[in-house]
Amino acid sequence: MIGTIVNVAAIIVGSLAGFLVKGRLPERFQNIVMQGISLAVLIIGLQMAFSVESTKGTLVVIFSLVIGGIIGEILRVESRLEGFGELIQKRFGSDDGLFVQGFVQSSLIYCVGAMAIMGAIQDGLNNDPSILFTKSLLDGTASVAFSATFGIGVLFSSIPVLLYQGSITLLASWAQKILNQDVVAMMTATGGLLIMAIGLNMLLSAKIKIGNLLPSIFVAIAIALIVF
């Protein structure tokens, strides 16, 4: 699990560096940084969404979002994620209103995507953490910007990364059979749309319930296994 450990360390170090800068930036600079990050997140999500290459794949993504959204509403995933973030916030005595937002949104961005999945599988099967090392560099850099905007809540996104990528690494031989190329493409495309929604929430102060749409990624796995 060396790749995931390095990834987690990069997020922590980047978050701490960004947090040290946060209080020293005038509000107008913080606003422009927020807008720049929002646009970057939109581009990342758009690139991921374009992993769909067929009408069949587009239909899989649509049905995944609809079914996953209904499941998320029933399970109240968004409220539970925010509750977990608020629990951490109270534990560490933070009264920053951006704490939960930073935790939830950065967790989704770091966990959703092909690099997290394929990197963890490669690390587990071949003891080759090269993909996760590259992801660590990207996540660490992003953490500086996110933490400078949202605060220390971004640091705690390292927990879901550790659990998510670590689990895939430990179960790599099983995960490789399930998470084939088509399945990963559908997961990536569906997750890309969720990341685009994060960018829209940040840029336009919209309130898309991204947490409640999270089950869509797992629904995409199930549908892709049936369809492809």
Own/partner pairs for 13-16, CB < 8 Å, 24+ apart? 13/140, 13/143, 14/139, 14/140, 14/141, 14/142, 14/143, 14/144, 14/147, 15/143, 15/144, 15/146, 15/147, 15/152, 15/154, 15/155, 15/157, 15/158, 16/147, 16/155
- Give 72's pLDDT tier (boundaries 50, 70, 90): very high
| Per-residue b or e along 208-220, where b marks 16 or more CB atoms closer than 10 Å to that residue's CB | ebbbbbbbbbebb
> What are the tens digits of pLDDT across the range 176-196?
788 888 888 898 899 889 888
> What are the tens digits of pLDDT across the range 105-134?
888 889 877 788 888 988 988 889 998 999
pTM beyond 0.85: the answer is no
CA distance 220 to 58: 11
Query: Please, are residues 64 and 223 in contact by the beta-carbon 8 Å criterion?
Result: yes
Domain count, the chain: 1
| Of the listed ranges 38-42, 47-51, 85-89, 149-153, the one predicted with least confidence | 85-89
State how far the alpha carbon of 130 is from the alpha carbons of 43, 53, 64, 88, 126, in Å.
24, 27, 31, 32, 11
> What are the tens digits of pLDDT across the range 2-44?
999 999 999 999 999 988 887 677 778 777 877 887 888 888 8
Give yes or no for residue 65 having a pLDDT over 90: yes
Collapsing DSSP states into helix, strand and coil, what is residue 179?
coil
In the numeric block, which tokens belong to residue 112?
A: 């959703």
Section 188-216 average pLDDT: 85
The per-residue pLDDT for 133 is 94
Percentage of residues in the chain having pLDDT higher than 70: 96
Domain of 147, in residue numbers = 2-227
Section 156-174 average pLDDT: 90
> What are the tens digits of pLDDT across the range 80-100?
887 887 787 777 756 566 788
Q: What is the mean pLDDT of the chain?
A: 86
User: Which letter does DSSP use for residue 206 in this model?
Assistant: -
Residue with the larger pLDDT of the pair 18 and 205:
18
The per-residue pLDDT for 162 is 95
CA distance 152 to 31: 18
The per-residue pLDDT for 203 is 82
Percentage of residues in the chain having pLDDT higher than 90: 28
Helix (H) or strand (E) holding 3: helix 2-22
CA distance 86 to 169: 29
The per-residue pLDDT for 94 is 62
